[in-house]
Each structure stands twice: as structure tokens, then as C-alpha cells.
A = this chain, B = another copy of it.
Amino acid sequence: MDKIRVGVLGATGLVGQVFTYILSEHPWFELSFLAASKASAGRRYGDVVKTYRPVPLPASVAEEIVVEGKPDDIPKDVEILFSALPSKIAGEMEVQLARKGFIVVSNASPLRLEDDVPLVNPEINLDHLQLLELQKRKRGWKGFIVKNPNCTTAILTLTLKPLLQEFGIRKVVMTSMQGLSGAGFPGVPALQIVDNIIPYIEGEEYKVEHETLKILGELDGDRVKEADIKVTATCTRVPVLDGHTEAVFVEFKRKACIEEVIQAFEEFRSKPQEMKLPSAPQRPIVVRHEKDRPQPRLDRWEGKGMSVVVGRIREDNTLNPGVKYLVTGHNLVRGAAGIAVLIAEAMVKLGYV
């Protein structure tokens, strides 16, 4: 088939760079539009991103000229816009673009919890894309907006899904130890984090506690009925470059032994795997059996950054019946650019594009 033309908004930030890295050699998509702020417009992409690179710079993309990305400047033949825009400007800008007819797949937080906006972790809730019909109708847009979850939530929910399916979930208690790249660039000053951790990330816990319920919820007519689960989170920053690690405690509805839990994780496959989407990892959840894994430096690139790695699965005596475990995932891939591309691939396959 002919490649579908796509663009990246906010192309010069960390998430933007991972988008261009993934899209530069994508079998279905042709990256034909790189937009960023006025300060970068008119300059060679390779020059603008040279301060800090979370992934290698593809030679083919380095020579592209960055544009400012006002809605009117975007070529009509671009179909999908991946948004890595900062929250402050994403809200309004993405709406304008959807109104004009673009398909916006967005990593930005605004609108994630709106009733008619699908918030999608593709192995969990591709059926929520059905909200798009409603969204178009209700808002009178020619295009539409799909959201991927907050990075920490994307990693967490991927592990919760098989547990919910197999054992039912009552409660989730999670403490995260998040990598530096989650704060963007320049992000956290070295003076604050060397020999230290920072036990606070603005807005993060609210996102985890609310987005999780929507992603794991069921489509119920015109809206998603939130999952009947209690989720509480404490989010911290640690001196790790990339990769978020989460200590998770889950209370089940039904009793389960550890072997069943391991099996549920290891055998978990879903639509992206069935549809053989290009960005779908073969194993969404990789279980490590060493006593001291997962570790972010060793495990963040598992499945090209699209798998999450689970370890230390133990019975829990307090949330009971239940388990506790740790999970690590790549915040910029499964938690941001990679998941958005996977959503877009599913949308193509399912006929939304």
C-alpha cells in the first residue's frame, strides 16, 4: 500500500525525538512534517535537537527543516498528526487541528478524561476507539483526537489488564521511581538529584489514579464506565536516565497462586499482537525470574521499549488475596511515542484512517 503521510507536533522535545526515531523507518507511515515552536522554525532538525538526544538521530530526519506548525501551514495530504506538544498549548492547538480534519494521536494530557475522547493503551482497550464516532458527531469536527495515557499509567495498566481479566481487582497501591527523561529537557537540575531522590512529580498521581480507571473501564454506550477499582499512587523521581519502575500491590477479587499470576502475565497477548501491528511487541509483558529484576538500565529497551518487564512477583499478606510485584517500562516509548504510534497502527488496521 502507499505510505500514509504523517507529521509530528512538538518534534524537538524528548518525546518528539522518539516519534521521529520510530517513524523514520516505519513500514506504513511516511514522516513528512516536523513542527515545533517559533524558535526552531526554519532550522535544520539536526541542529535544533543537538542539545540532548534520548535516541539516535536518523540521518534521513536530520536534514528536514522544522516548521512552526500553525494549522493552516500543514499540508493537506498529511493524515495523522502525532502530538508531543506541551500541555499548555496542546489543548487548544489539537482541537483546531481535529476541527480541520486531521487525525490527532496525542501524548499531551489535556482532554484525556473527556467522555468522548478515547484514552487508549492498545493491548487493553482498542474498542474505546468507537467513541470517535460520537466525538465527531458531537463536536462537529472533520477529524478527531485520540489520546495515549500518561507514561506511568501506560506501564501500570498493561500489567493490570491480565490480572483484572483473570482474578478481578479491588485495590491497587503503587509507588513509582521515575526516570529523568519523564520531566523533559532540561528537566531536573543535576544539583537536585545527585545523591538524592525527589518524592514529588506535579500532577502525576492524579493522572495515574484517574486514567487507570478509564483505560480499564468498559465502553457503555456513549461513554466509558470506569473500572470499579480503587487506585492510589505515590510518584517519585530517581537518578535514572530513562525508564519508570513501579512497585505495585494489587488486591484481587479471587484467590490466585503465584504460578497463575506469572502465567497470566506471560501468556497475555491482545489485538495488537493478533493484528501483527509493526510496533506491537511480541510479548507485551516479559517476566524475569531473577531475584533482583526488573532494573531500569537493564530492562528499559525490552521489546524495543514497547514491552514492560515484571519481576519479584510475591503473594501479598496485606492486600489479600493479592500480589505484589515490580514493573519497569520505557517512559518515552511504551509510555509516550511508541504507544501513540501503536494506536495509529491499530487505527489504520481497524479502518479509522
Contacts and interface: CB of A to CB of B under 8 A. Distances in A.
Interface of A: 50, 52-53, 171-173, 175, 177, 180-181, 185-200, 209, 230-232, 234, 236, 238-241, 245, 247, 249, 290-298, 311-312, 316-320, 324, 326
Contact of A240 (B52, B181, B195, B320): B195
What 5 A-B pairs are tightest by C-beta distance, nearest first?
A232-B318, A175-B175, A186-B189, A230-B318, A196-B297
A241 B193 CA distance: 10
A312 to B, nearest CB: 6
A200 to B, nearest CB: 4
Given A185-B191, A187-B191, A234 B173 contact: no
8 contacts: A52-B191, A173-B318, A180-B191, A189-B190, A190-B190, A194-B239, A199-B293, A236-B245
Contacts of A187: 189-191
Nearest to A199: B326
A199 to B, nearest CB: 5
Given A188-B191, A194-B195, A195-B296, 11 more contacts: A172-B318, A173-B319, A180-B191, A195-B239, A195-B297, A196-B240, A198-B295, A200-B292, A232-B317, A234-B247, A234-B249
Contact of A197 (B53, B171, B231, B238): B238
B292 A198 contact: yes
